[in-house]
Amino acid sequence: MLNKISKVFSLKILLIILFVFIFIELFFRAFYSEYSNRTVSEKKVLKNYYFTKDIKDFENFKIRNSKLNNKKNSNKIYIIGDSITKGFGLAYQDTFFGVAENMFEQNNNNYEFIPLSIYASRHGSELGTLLESFKKYYSAKNEEYKKNNYLIYQFNYNDIFPNNFKNDKRPSYYNKDLTLKDKFIFWTAKFRYTYLNKSTFLAFLQSKLSNLSFQVSNKCKNYSLGPFSYSYASIGLEKESANAWDEFQEKLNDLKIFSKENNFRLRVLIIPTVLDFDYQGTSNPKNWDLKCSTINAHEKILSILDDLNIEFIDPTNYLKQTSIKFSKEGNPKNFFFDLDWNHINERSSHFIGEYIFLNLYKEIENNN
């Protein structure tokens, strides 16, 4: 009899917990919608399906594929970069390269964009790693139309960091410098992004706990600008930042040499950060502040490109001015995904794609 009562009581407790959780979940979906639809899986990121084309003999170096393009005998615009070149969270037609490619098609120009990134690797955005992978990929191709091909390196400010793990392909939680808490965060990442983030409430809870931990331990010291701490030389990292920039410049020069040897028209595409904008919406949840920086990272990359005599595509000021116009008319718009300091959304991706087209189109027309 006691066992039966105990089972009934336990069932009631479970039902109450379930009811409370459902109520909380519905409340957060209604009032904190920016935390909804935040799942990330192998084939779907946020709300969009994610297609890639594997490359023979490459484990992680892949092409972001629209499943529609099948151009032959066309000139190529190769892009190497990080998760932005993967088109994180975007349908192919909303990516900056998808937009630019469509504009070339509308103007009867026979150019195909080939965006390549390294997947599932903690050093995937490191320029040296990208270049070595692209060299191997390109040397295996038999291109007939090599003389007018472009190579675009998509630069992100989080590309500036000490490359301590270049030859270590293990997951991040093997890094001996990480705390047990950080290792646990890395180890559970896939499960949390794929399953827990289906719940708006659990996504909210994870975000707030992460932000609280960061804000308590990072008041303008060392890593107070998160992944941008080296590019902006966060207070306490001035020396390490200078070394990281010097290493990056050497690799950028290697990219220039390779491009010249292979008749590429090299361009560096500069992707702005959320810190460039006055209106940041929900995309700076950790409240990073440039008062913790000691250099102007935008001026730094422009100076390096000028020293190396490398041409670039820089939509930063265009996007900043456009953002200001939205705000002045009373319709401020975010240019990054909600709660995401790094990945450009559909709006800014379209602007960047248009900017690339306008930057390249006249030159391409004159050379045809």
**Percent of the chain residues past pLDDT 70, beyond the cut:** 74
Domain 40-205+242-286+293-367 has CATH 3.40.50.1000: no
- Distance (Å, whole) CA 64 – CA 53: 6
Q: What is the predicted pLDDT for the residue at 325? A: 96
**H or E stretch covering 347:** helix 346-367
Mean local confidence (pLDDT), 19-27: 80
Confidence check: pLDDT of 47 > 80: no
Per-residue pLDDT reduced to its tens digit, 170-220: 344 344 555 666 666 666 666 777 777 777 777 777 777 766 655 545 578
Q: What is the predicted pLDDT for the residue at 311? A: 97
- Distance (Å, whole) CA 237 – CA 254: 26
Where in the chain are the domains?
Answer: 40-205+242-286+293-367
DSSP class per residue in 195-237: TGGGSHHHHHHHHHHHHHHHHHH-SSSSSTTGGGTTTTT-TT-
Query: Would you say 224 and 235 are in contact if contact means Cβ atoms under 8 Å apart?
Result: yes
Q: What is the predicted pLDDT for the residue at 168? A: 44
Confidence check: pLDDT of 274 > 80: yes
Mean local confidence (pLDDT), 342-363: 94
Beta strands in the chain (DSSP E): 44-45, 48-49, 52-54, 61-64, 75-81, 111-118, 150-155, 265-270, 312-313
Which two tokens mark 211? Answer: 């932000």
Per-residue pLDDT reduced to its tens digit, 120-159: 555 445 888 889 889 888 887 765 545 678 999 999 999 9
Higher pLDDT, 1 or 327: 327
- Distance (Å, whole) CA 79 – CA 98: 12
Q: Name which of 4-13, 23-32, 353-362 the model is least confident about.
A: 4-13
- 143: Cβ contacts below 8 Å, ≥ 6 apart: 76, 149
Higher pLDDT, 119 or 21: 21
Mean local confidence (pLDDT), 103-112: 86
- Distance (Å, whole) CA 290 – CA 274: 11
